[in-house]
Amino acid sequence: MTRATAHPDPSSALPPPAPAARAHGERVRAHIVSALEASGGWLSFARYMALALYAPGLGYYSAGSTKLGPAGDFITAPELTPLFGQALARQLAPMLQALECPVLLEPGAGTGALAASLLPALDALGALPARYLVLEPSAELAARQRAHLAERLPERLLARVVWVASPPEGERAGVLVANEVLDALPVERFRVSTEGPLRLGVALDETGGFCWRAAPFEPAFAAAVRAQLGDVLQGLPAGAEGECCLLLAPWLATLLGGFERGGAVFIDYGLPRAELYLPERTGGTLRCHYRHRAHDDPLVLPGLQDITAWVDFTAVAEAAVAAGWEVAGFTTQAHYLLDGGLAGLLPDTGAADPAALQDLQALKTLLLPGEMGERFRVMALLRGLELSPPGFALRDLRDRL
């Protein structure tokens, strides 16, 4: 292994964890240290990220703390306002109506807020799926989702919701909707060198803290990074660091492989490859969220903070085509939602109504370029469907992929 890379500790600027959270974080840290020692003192970053986020009963998404909303670490579009789900329902309805007895699959359903707004809106449009499948491997999160939906949905809609621990197999027709799921897939981290991309991983420094450490040059890893990044890798200067999700293609193939016909919509923050891997972006795109503070050090507070990376939507498109799907649209979240009539969903209750003001503020967050409107992108995939999915008439950016 080469010399460890020192990094500033941002935890001193973050709110201190409560005693119970701190104790949980120590358990997560001990679990990662045990895995690290069993691997000879070094873990790839993808492995570290998987443990920190998904270790059973310990990882950020597998344990019992509140993740979303004002009491959590960050907020997503469905938690901002049900108008997001209502607008999305208008985009999904034509795909569902074109299929016979379709299911609607949502991986990573968070609090269940998207399902709570989607199902009534689809019902009003006459486009209810036969079943609403929530792909949730965490029993704790599934329990929270059940409780939330039981409060929000009438029994006849709640009866359509089914929780599954793995992607469905043998479904003839289905539509997938994934909001802020791709960014949480474990990514490999690399550093550009004269030999080629080096794999960055996690080790222990002399104080027992986690630190970055590059592995010796691995031809197989370098070849995998080159195969995914293509020509953009040549434009990165020596020493530049970045991320790539080598798990993406097999994950997507498994997720969508059960559908013979259908559609899929992915909503996440990210860019086409040529815009993501720029020579001036030499530090990568890792982003962590803790108590509504964002920073870029995933090696602090393991198990207590979210860890994400910006999505390479060109890689998503390539993985989809390799799995037998067509890329049917790609645009910004603002254009997608405006094409779905989001602004027209605001109730006409008067400017002084507190609920209307809250919805208006939420719409600004969803649509403005400085908020989620430009940073979040939407990609639609189709398989065996002869239609143009709504949402891309105002602006289609597939030529940039």
Q: What's the fold here for domain 19-401? A: Rossmann fold (3.40.50)
Q: How far apart are CA 219 and CA 364, in angstroms?
A: 47
Residue 303 parent element (H or E): none
pLDDT digits (tens, 9 = 90+) for 279-305: 999 999 999 999 888 999 999 999 999
Identify the residue with better confidence: 115 or 2.
115
pLDDT digits (tens, 9 = 90+) for 262-283: 999 999 999 999 999 999 999 9
Polymer length in residues for the chain: 401
Q: What percent of the chain has pLDDT over 70?
A: 92
Rounded average pLDDT over 118-146: 93
pLDDT digits (tens, 9 = 90+) for 300-322: 999 999 999 999 999 999 999 99
Helices of type H across 194-312: 219-229, 248-256, 273-276
Instruction: State the pLDDT confidence band at 357, using cuts at 50, 70 and 90.
Output: confident
Q: How far apart are CA 100 and CA 259, in angstroms?
A: 12
Q: How far apart are CA 131 and CA 101, in angstroms?
A: 9
pLDDT digits (tens, 9 = 90+) for 189-232: 999 999 999 999 999 999 999 999 999 999 999 999 999 999 99
Within 13 Å and on the Cβ side, how many CA atoms surround 280? 1
Task: Please state at what angle helix 82-97 crosses helix 354-367, rounded to 10 degrees.
Answer: 60
Domain ranges of the chain: 19-401
Q: How far apart are CA 77 and CA 64, in angstroms?
A: 22
**C-beta atoms surrounding 210 within 10 Å:** 23
CA angle 307/313/318 to nearest 5° reads 125
Identify the residue with better confidence: 91 or 342.
91
Residue 351 has pLDDT above 60, yes or no: no
The pLDDT, as a whole number, for residue 141 is 84
The pLDDT, as a whole number, for residue 352 is 61
The pLDDT, as a whole number, for residue 299 is 97
